[in-house]
Amino acid sequence: MKKLISQATIDRLPLYFRTLRLMEGEELQIISSDELGRRLDITPEQIRKDLATFGQFGRKGIGYDVHDLRNNIGNILGLHNKWRLAIVGVGHLGGALANYGNFASLGFSVVALLDINKKIIGKRINGIKIENSAVMKEIIAENSVDIGVITVPASEAQIVAENLIKAGVKGLWNFAPIKLSVPTNFPLVNEDLSVGLSALSYHMSKN
Amino acid sequence: MKKLISQATIDRLPLYFRTLRLMEGEELQIISSDELGRRLDITPEQIRKDLATFGQFGRKGIGYDVHDLRNNIGNILGLHNKWRLAIVGVGHLGGALANYGNFASLGFSVVALLDINKKIIGKRINGIKIENSAVMKEIIAENSVDIGVITVPASEAQIVAENLIKAGVKGLWNFAPIKLSVPTNFPLVNEDLSVGLSALSYHMSKN
C-alpha cells in the first residue's frame, strides 16, 4: 500500500515532473533543491519536504539525480500507465482540451471524442473523428479508454458520468459545474476554472 | 491589512461562495457546516476551520447566515470589484474561456478579445469583437480591463505578459505552460490543466 500524500503535494508533483523532464532535455544530471525551487518559485524547504514524503532524499551538498527523480515522481503519479482519454462534449472547452498539447508531455493521450450534435459528428480534431455519444459503450471499449472527460453542460453531466462508468472507464475528469454522484471511492477530479481566477482576485484585492 | 489566508483555504472559498449563492436562490437563510459540507463533500470541521480564519463563527446548533456569509466570502475574494477580463489569444482555449459562463456568476466579465491572426480579427464571440493585438494598449484602456488572460502559445507568452502590464492590467491569469517573469508581487496566477489530470492519475493508480 502506498503512503498517503497530501493533496497539496500531489498538486506540485506534476510541476516537478515537467521541470525535471525539461532538465533531462538540457542533459542536466544532478539538480539541487535550490535550483529546482528557483525554476518553480517554490522554497527549497518545501521541495525537500515534498520529496521526503515519498522517500526521496537528495545528497547533502550535491542534490537529486534528475533521471531517477523524474522516474519516481512519474511512478507515484501513475503516469507510466499512459492513460487514454475520451472527451464527451466537443464544444469550445472540449475542443480546446482535444488540442491541449500539455497532456501528451505527461503521457496522456486523447483517443476518442463524443458528442450528440449531428452537425459535428464525423468531423475530426487532430485526426480523431467525433463519434455519436449514442455509441459511447462501443467507442470506449474499442479505444480502451481509461478516463472520461466531461465537458457537456451541467444539466447532462450526471447522466454522461453514469454512462461513462457503465462503459467501463476507470476515472472521471469533470469540467461541468455540478457535484456528480459516483460510486464511493470512484476516482473523480472536478476541474473548476473559477478557482484560479478567484485566487487571482484575492491577490489583486490585497494590493 | 488583511490576515494571510492559506492557499488551500482560498481555493475552497469560491466553492463556498457559489454554493451559498445557490442557497440564496433556494431562499435558505441559515446553513449548518454539516449541510454545507454535505453539498461540497468537505468535512464540517474543515469548513468551520476555514471560516474561522477570517472571523466567521456560526452559532452553535444553529449555523451561519447564508446572505452574510456569502457577502463576507465575496469581499475576501475581492469579487465585489467586478473585474474586467481581456483574453489574449483566441484559439481553442481562448475561445472556450470567452464562452465559459461560470465566471459571470462570480462577478467577472470578459470585455475584450485580442489576437494577431488576421483571419479571426473582426469576428465576434458572445458579441465581443476580436481586436488586433497590435492595438492592445488602446483596447485595454478603452475597456478598463483589470485582468489579462494569456492563452497564446508558450513562445509568445512572456512578451504578451509584458505588453499587458505596460498597458495597465492589474493582474495576469496565465494558461501558457511557461514561468513568466513579472515585477515582484505583481498578481499572477498560473493555470495548469495537467495538474488536475495528474491528480486523477494518482488516485486511479492507488485503486
Q: CA B32, CA A90: separation in Å to the nearest integer?
A: 39
**Average per-residue pLDDT in chain B?**
90
Percent of chain B with pLDDT over 90: 57
CB distance B187–A170 less than 8 Å? no
**B57 exposed, middle or buried (CB, 10 Å; 0-12, 13-18, 19+)?**
exposed
**Strand, coil or helix: what is B6?**
coil
Give yes or no for B41 touching A (CB within 8 A).
Answer: yes
Cβ contact, residue pair B198, A10, below 8 Å: yes
Distance of alpha carbon B96 from alpha carbon B18, whole angstroms: 21
Residue A1: the pLDDT is 39
Domain B7-77 has CATH 3.40.309.10: no
Q: What is the mean pLDDT of residues B19-40?
A: 88
Residue A207 banded pLDDT, cuts 50, 70, 90: low
Q: Which helix (H) or strand (E) holds A132?
A: strand A128-132
* Predicted model pTM: 0.81
Task: Give the single-character DSSP code of B27.
Answer: T
- pLDDT, tens digit, for every residue of A47-104? 998 999 888 777 877 899 999 999 999 999 999 999 999 999 999 889 989 987 678 8
Interface residue of B4, B204, B206, B207 to substitute, partner A, most A CBs within 10 Å: B204
B1 pLDDT exceeds 50?
A: no
* Beta strand A30-31 pairing with B30-31: unpaired
CA atoms within 13 A on the CB side of B168: 11
Mean pLDDT for A164-182 is 93
CB atoms within 10 A of CB A54: 15
Fold category of A7-78 in CATH: Arc Repressor Mutant, subunit A (1.10.10)
**R_g of chain B, CA atoms, integer Å:** 20
Nearest residue in B to A169, CA atom? B204
Which one is predicted more confidently, B156 or B178? Answer: B156
Class in CATH terms, A82-194: alpha beta
Question: What are the distances in angstroms from CA A63 to CA A7, A21, A47, A72, B36?
Answer: 25, 16, 12, 15, 45
Antiparallel, parallel or unpaired: β B188-190 and B171-174 = parallel
Summarize the confidence of residues B180-191 as an average pLDDT: 92
Region B32-49: mean pLDDT is 87
What the block records as the C-alpha cell of B35 is: 449541510
Asked whether residue B196 carries a pLDDT value surpassing 90, the answer given is no
CB A36 within 8 A of CB A14: no
What is the reported pLDDT for B22?
Answer: 82
User: Closest partner residue to A202 among B76, B172, B191, by Cβ?
Assistant: B76
Half-sphere exposure of B68 (CA within 13 A, CB side): 11
What are the backbone angles phi and psi of residue A187, rounded to the nearest 5°? Answer: -65, 120
DSSP summary character for residue A96: H
CB contact under 8 A, B17 and A198: yes
Residue B2: pLDDT above 60? no
At residue A62, the pLDDT reads: 85
The CATH architecture of the domain made up of B82-195 is 3-Layer(aba) Sandwich (3.40)
B203 in A contact zone (CB under 8 Å):
yes
Q: Tell me whether residues B207 and A201 touch, CB distance under 8 A.
A: no
Q: How far apart are CA A53 and CA A48, in angstroms?
A: 9
Over residues A112-168, the pLDDT tens digits come to 999 999 999 999 998 999 999 999 999 999 999 999 999 999 899 999 999 999 999
- Pairwise pLDDT comparison (B156 vs A194), residue with the higher score: B156
The C-alpha of A84 sits at a distance from chain B's nearest C-alpha, in angstroms, of 11
ipTM here: 0.87
Q: Where are the domains of chain A?
A: 7-78, 82-194
The verdict on a CB contact (< 8 Å) between B202 and A41 is no
- Categorize the per-residue pLDDT at A174 as very low, low, confident or very high, splitting at 50, 70 and 90: very high
Chain-chain contact of A92 with B99 (C-beta, under 8 angstroms): yes
pLDDT digits (tens, 9 = 90+) for B81-127: 999 999 999 998 899 899 876 788 788 999 999 999 999 999 999 89
